[in-house]
Structure 1
C-alpha cells in the first residue's frame, strides 16, 4: 500500500494499492513505522538513462516514473544512485510484479512497486501536487467475515440439496403408479452415475482445465454462456414447485400445434421461465460490476447446485467412494503438483479459478461462490477483494449427502446418516478455512472435505452394523415390505414392519403366489408419507414371486 497525505495538511490521508516485490527490499507491516517522504512526479521520464535524472537527484524522495523502454532494475538502480528512498513505476497497462534476478535483488536496497495510472491521477486530483507518501505492506487478516457467509451458503446448499434429492427420489419410486401427464407435474429424470461415467467425467474435467489454462481468453466466454443457460434452468427448477403451489393464475395456453406449447402449459410457468432467463441475462451483462453482481452470481450458482444435486444420483456408497476419491486426487494434483510442471510455477487450478494475471479479457470464471471481503483492511482496495469456493466443493460431497438421506429414509434411521454427513461436511469446510489462513495460499477443498465425509459416513454405517447394505445400496430393496402374496425370503427372517402384520395373519398353507387377498381382509395401505417404507399394494411382482428390485439401486446394477 502507498499512504498519501497532502503537505499542506487538512484532509485525511488515503491508501492506494501498489504491486510490490519484497525481493527488492522489505517494507514495514505497520504504517506507523513507515517514513512519510515527498512524492515527486517524474512521469514525463521513463528513467532509463542518467540523462533522465533531475539535476539535484531524488534525495529522500519517492519518484513517480513512467513504465517502458528498459527493465525495472535499470530504473531502480538509477533512482537509488540519485538518493531516492523508493520507486513507484506508473503503468497504464495491467500491473505485473516488478521482477529481476538474485544478483540484482542483492544490489538494490530500496523498494520498487507499480502504481496504476488511474490511481496516480486520483492522487494529484485529491491532494494537489505537493504530497507525501509512505510505503508499507500490511499483513492480510488470517480470516475474514465473508468466510462465515460462504460457510452458511455452502453448508446450506449441501443440506438442502441432499435433503431435496433424497426425498424426491424416494417419493418418486413409491408413487410410480400415480403418474400425471400434466406438463407442470413432469419432473426431470434423475441420472444414475456409473463407474464409466465417473471416469469419462474426470477425463473431461482434466482436459477442460488444461485447455482453460492455455486458451483462457477464448474459452472463458464459452463457460460464461454455459453458466447462464444452466443457472437459469436451475433457478426455474427451484422456483417451479413454489409457483405451482400458488392458488391463482392457473390459466393455460390455448390449443395450438407449436412444439411444447401443444401440451398447453400454464401461463405462470412460462412467465417464470422468462423471469429466470432474464435474471441470468442481467448477470451476464453486468457480471463485472463488483458492487452487486456477485449477489446474482451466488444466487444463480446455488440454484445450479441444487438442480444438479436433484438430477445426478449416486446409486451406491461404492460409487460415492469412487467419485470422491478420484476427484480428491484430481483436486490435489492440479493445486499442489502442477506448480512443479508449469513454467511460471503457478498452480493450474488457482490460475484458472482466479483468472490468469496476463489475461487480456480480465474475465473471471463464474463457477464459484464469491463474497467480497468485509473487513476494514487496506488490502480490500487491491485487485483480489473476493473469497471464492468452487461449485465442485459443494456438488461432490453433496452427492454423498443426498445418498445418505435416501438410505436414511429406506432403512428408517431417523436421518442419522444425513445429519452426520452434513456435519462432517461443515467440519471439513472449517478445516479448509483454517488451512487457507495458515498457509496463505489457495487450498484444494476436497483434500479436507472428502476424508471428513467419507470417514464419518462409513464409520456410522460400521457402528450401526449396516456397512454391507450401505456399501451396495441393497438396503433400498431389502427393507421394502413385501406384498401380502409374496413368499417369505429364503435368506432369513426380515424385520417386522407395520405393513408386514397383515402378512403374518395369513394361513401358512396358502400358495406363495396368488391373486390379491379378497375384499373381506383388505391389506392396510402403506403410504410413504406415513411410514417412509413399503411399495404400494398395487405393485406388480415378478413371475418368481419376489418383490422387484428398484432400478439402479442395488450394487449389482452398478
Structure 2
C-alpha cells in the first residue's frame, strides 16, 4: 500500500503554488495604494521578493473577456502593461500565451471560484517568460471601487518570515480570552458559594440571575438554531447579513458593558441615582454611572457597525468587541455536568463535519455551506462578511 502511494505521488503532476502580492496605486492620486493577495506559479516566471524591484505597470482591465482567442485581444494589444481577464473557457497556458504574444508584461486572471495554482507542462513553462497570477473576484471588485480604471500595479512575492508573529498574537488573544473568562467565572462561583455559606439569600439570588446552566434541551435548541441560520444565510445571504451584523453589535455592547462594569463600579464618581420617574427600567433609579457606561458601550458598537469596512482601524475595534463578548459568554454560561459537556462537544462535532465536508455533495455549486457563509459568497452584491459565525 505504501509503495502504491509513493508510485502515485510520483506519477501525479505536481503544481507549484505560491502566494504573492499585487501592489495597486492610482494614476490620479499618488498617495493612494493598497496590496492584494494573489496566487501564482513560479514555474511560469519568478516574482521579485522586494516591491522596489518590481516593475510598476499599467493595469489593463479586460474583465469583460476571458482571453481565449485572438478576437479577445483589444486593438493595440497589451504593450508594456498587465491585462486583467476572467478565468474560464480555456487553459491558463492559452491565456498567458495570447497575452505574451501581444506584448503583455504579466497576466492577472480573476477567479469567481476558489483560487487554484495556474499549472502547465514543462514545454509550456519554457515558452512563457511573463508572470501569471490569480486574483479573487472580490479583490477585483474592490480595486475597481477604490481606484477606478486608471491604475498601475506591481506584482511581487515577499519572503515569508520564519515565525509568523500574527499567529503568535492570535494565539495569545485566544488563550488569554479563555483563561481570563475561566478565571472570572470560577471566581464568581467561589464568591457565590461563600455568600450561600453566609446564608445571604439576596446576594445568592443576584448571582443566580446572572448565570445560566446549560441543559441538554438548551444544547439541542442551540444547534438547531445554528443549523437553521446557516442554511438561511447560504440561501439569503445578502438579506440576512445585515441582521447578523446588528445582532453582533447588540451582543458585543452587552459583553463590553459586562467586562467594564467591575472597573467602573470602583470609580468614586457617578454614584447618584436617576430622579423618581415612571419610565420603564428607569423607575428603579439606576446609578448614573450605569447609564453612562451603557451609552458608551452602545456608541462603541455603533461606531464599529458604521465604519466596519475601514481597513486601518476597524479590525482593532472588532477584536475588542469580540473578546468582550466571548468573556461575557464564558462568565454567564455554565456547563454544570460532564454529560452536558460531552453532548455539546458531540453535536458540535457532527455539526461541523456535516456543514464543512458533507454539504458540498448537496449544493449545486459543490461548495461547503460553512465555507461559503464564513468567507462570504463571491457573487454577493453586498460583499459583506459575517462577523459572528455560527
What's the offset of the Cα at 1:220?
Answer: 1.1
Deviations 1:422-453 (A, max 9, x none): xxxxxxxxxxxxxxxxxxxxxxxxxxxxxxxx
Q: Does 1:123 align with 2:152?
A: yes
Q: Is 1:195 aligned to 2:216, yes or no?
A: yes
Question: CA-to-partner distance for each residue in 1:521-549, whole Å, 9 max, x for gaps?
Answer: xxxxxxxxxxxxxxxxxxxxxxxxxxxxx
The equivalent of 1:169 in structure 2 is: 189
Task: State the partner residue of 2:308.
Answer: 287
Distance 2:316 2:56 in 1: 42
Corresponding residue for residue 28 of structure 1? 46
Q: C-alpha displacement at 1:38, in angstroms? A: 9.9
Counterparts in 2 of 1:303 and 1:366: CA distance versus 1, 3 Å = same
The CA distance in 2 between the partners of 1:232 and 1:99, in whole Å, is 37
Q: String of CA shifts for 1:72-115, please: whole Å, max 9, x gaps.
A: 667656435557564346x8xxx636999x9x967976536557
Describe how 1:109-120 pairs up with structure 2 within 5 A. 110=128, 111=132, 113=134, 116-117=143-144, 118=147
Separation of aligned partners in 1, 2:298 and 2:348: 31
Residue 258 of structure 1 aligns with which residue? 279
Cα distance in 2 for partners of 1:155, 1:2 equals 31
Offset at 1:292?
A: 0.8
1:214-363 to structure 2, matched below 5 A, reads 214-363=235-384
Distance 1:285 1:84 in 2: 41
Name structure 2 gaps, 5 residues minimum: 1-19, 24-32
- Separation in structure 2 between the aligned mates of residue 99 and residue 136 of structure 1, nearest angstrom: 18
Q: Distance in 2 between matches of 1:294 and 1:194?
A: 35
Give TM-score, length-normalised by structure 2. Answer: 0.70
* Rounded Cα–Cα distance in structure 1 between residues aligned with 2:162 and 2:373: 23
8 Å contact from structure 1 (residues 38, 62) kept in 2: no
Shift in alpha-carbon separation, 1:20–1:97, aligned structure 2, 3 A: farther
Equivalent of 1:158 in 166, 178, 199? 178
Q: Distance in 2 between matches of 1:329 and 1:196?
A: 17
Query: SS of the counterpart of 2:378?
Result: coil
Take 2:58 and 2:184, find their aligned partners in 1: how far apart are those partners?
Answer: 63
Shift of 1:188: 4.0
Tell me by how many angstroms 1:323 deviates.
Answer: 1.0
TM-score (norm 1): 0.51
Distance 1:296 1:204 in 2: 27
Equivalent-residue separation in structure 2 for 1:321 and 1:193 (angstroms): 12
Cα 1:297–1:99 shift into 2, 3 Å:
closer
C-alpha separation between the residues in 1 aligned to 2:334 and 2:115? 50
Going from structure 1 to structure 2, the CA distance change for 1:112 and 1:98 (only over 3 Å counts) comes to: farther
* Cα distance in 1 between the residues matched to 2:54 and 2:330: 56
What is aligned with 2:112? 96
Tell me the CA shift for residue 251 of structure 1: 0.7
- Tell me the residue number matched to 2:11: none
Root mean square deviation of aligned Cα = 4.3
**In the alignment, what sits opposite 2:227?**
206
Unmatched runs of 5 consecutive residues or more in structure 1: 5-13, 125-132, 368-389, 393-558
Indicate conservation of the 8 Å contact 1:162/1:309, yes or no: yes
Contact 1:98 1:113 (8 Å CA) reproduced: no
Q: Would you say the 8 A contact 2:273–2:285 is kept in 1?
A: yes
CA separation of 1:142 and 1:57: change in aligned 2, threshold 3 A? same
Larger Rg: 1
Matches within 5 A, 1:458-469: none
Say if 1:307 and 1:340 are closer, same or farther in 2 by CA, change over 3 A: same
Whether contact under 8 Å (2:58, 2:152) holds in the other structure is: no
2:83–2:104 Cα contact (<8 Å) kept: no
CA–CA distance in structure 1, aligned partners of residues 376 and 101 of structure 2: 38
Quick check: 1:193–1:312 contact (8 Å CA) kept in 2? yes
**Aligned partners of 1:18 and 1:305: how far apart in 2?**
30
1:500-519 → structure 2 map (5 Å cutoff)? none
Q: Does 1:178 align with 2:200?
A: yes
Instruction: Tell me the distance in 1 between the aligned counterparts of 2:200 and 2:320.
Output: 34
Matched ranges for 1:39-78 at <5 A = 50=70, 63-65=81-83, 67=85, 76=96, 78=98
On the 8 A contact 2:216/2:343 being kept in 1, the answer is yes
Using the TM superposition, give the Cα deviation of residue 291 of structure 1 relative to its aligned residue in structure 2, in angstroms: 0.9
Structure with greater helix percent: 2
Q: Distance in 2 between matches of 1:354 and 1:88?
A: 22
